[in-house]
Structure 1
């Protein structure tokens, strides 16, 4: 039989050592909507010169893997794993802050083929970028991009492997499931139409002699950026842009009480924003890119609190 995209299972398990899948792994099933991982080959062409003008070889010099998944925001293990991995931190007393850890996963994609399935395993996987999009009258959605050490194919599960079903917590939307959205003390409080954020770890491979694969990935700083798109109703928000001002940004996401998440950016700097006038049928909007900065009081750039009522 042929494989169908609707039958793909994506599962993950934390690693203790980079690129080493745990024995008898306890996989958890991911909640994704599209996307996937793949191998990326590096090759070079032989420059050998011959009288017949034919190319003699295409030489394999490196193997890497990676890709991205799209998802819808809900509470539970999957989103909490993504956030911790992206921020390179760990949940402590229901609080997560960006840190300096280097967590990795083995991600497994299973394609249903009837009697014998296809398994693609990606050890040494870690989040390079993670983004969230919150738009009026839309589902809250996200995208996560992974870098992986390699891809390993198989036709059966790892001996002793178990698979936990995904949670059934409802999908959050921007109409009903965003609360306490504040941008500093700007008055009147901005009426936001869309809000986006991205965590970017700037990962890089570390190739070495004697191996086709990268060693543990190097990381840039924790770069967190985003955009605010708000209705223009006074000079206050746009003046903050002109002043190259800063403010705290905070909002809470989630459907069920006790399972929500509060995102606190204790200090964002307003970037090259604009007042977009548009045409006769357009609202005047303020479009502002922002960068999150380190705050010494919170000792982080982004703080997330879970299990919020």
Structure 2
């Protein structure tokens, strides 16, 4: 019997019209990822019953939940569906803002085992966290963190299922494919070594008596945070931290015209930033965590525009 190889794994997903229900004859989209995966987490509890022979009498199964993450290298058009789920919004004339509308997927992991393949299907999956990292002289990378309701195992595709091949758009890098990265209102404009974004839906399971699986997830506040890392040139940037300042943070990512994104946090507030003095061969840096808050003009905390020229 052959062993499974990670290099032959296929990850695919399809949107669900109803939470936890895979569409009939689904059209899966193959997902570009560098590894990771989701899994079922079992919650059990040991019996406290007394026994004269000191043995444990039982271990009860209390619940089953699905969670995990897929790391990725960022490319145009690959993550638009996941961004909708992450922001709980809908692309409207190529603009996506954070909102309140959930979007769920069935995620399928396929492993090649020769004559009979292995299929793990995770239904009721929503994006709980979405992270994006832009660092100097590096690929633009990130991670999609999912929560799901249920896992089922199979040895064949769903009857009538089809698979749309993943895009072949190039991997984007910070050196060649990031422009207009700026925080409005800062003078002089800081020279950044890295910027990270993280969007968190604060999802929670809703267990019920009589069931092992969660009902449709509850959601907390949409929390958009990140970190700026800048070279220390003047006191201006650190003074903005002490003044509880911020501004509008924006970055455009993409290679070709009409295949770019602009990520805009129209109002960020600097949190507990600090100067970092390293060793003899290090630069002095300013590391500033930030939070994006509601902006009345844009009516959101995060706005993403695609198909930017």
* Normalised-by-shorter TM-score class: over 0.9
Aligned counterpart, 2:59: 58
Give the distance between the partners of 2:235 and 2:103, measured in 1 at CA.
44
Q: CA deviation at 1:16?
A: 0.5
Measured on the aligned residues, the alpha-carbon RMSD in Å equals 0.9
Q: Is the 8 A contact 1:171 1:255 kept in 2?
A: no
- Checking the alignment, whether the CA contact within 8 Å between 1:74 and 1:170 is kept in structure 2 is yes
Q: Note the 1:1-309 alignment, pairs <5 A.
A: 1-76=2-77, 78-309=78-309
The count of corresponding residues between Structure 1 and Structure 2 is 308
1:220-267 deviation digits (Å, cap 9, x = unpaired): 100010000011112221111111012000110111211100001000
Alpha-carbon shift at residue 50 of structure 1 (Å): 2.4
Give the TM-score of the pair, scaled to structure 1.
0.98
Runs of at least 4 residues of structure 1 off by over 6 A?
Answer: none
Q: Distance in 2 between the 1:57 and 1:233 partners?
A: 64
Q: Which runs of 5+ in 1 are unaligned?
A: none
SS in 2 for 1:221: coil
Q: Judge conservation of contact 1:131–1:198 (CA < 8 Å) in 2.
A: yes
**3-state SS, counterpart of residue 105 of structure 1:** strand
Question: 1:87 Cα shift?
Answer: 0.6
What SS does the aligned partner of 2:206 have? coil
Distance 2:305 2:179 in 1: 14
SS for the counterpart of 1:308 is coil
Q: Give the stretch that moved more between structures: 36-45 or 148-157.
A: 36-45
Is 18-27 or 82-91 further displaced after alignment? 82-91
SS in 1 for 2:70: strand
Distance 1:79 1:72 in 2: 10
Corresponding residue SS for 2:215: coil
Task: Give the Å deviation of 1:57.
Answer: 1.2
In the aligned structure 2, how far is the partner of 1:51 from the partner of 1:185? 73
Q: Secondary structure at the match of 1:218?
A: strand
Runs of at least 5 residues in structure 2 that lack an aligned partner in the other structure: none
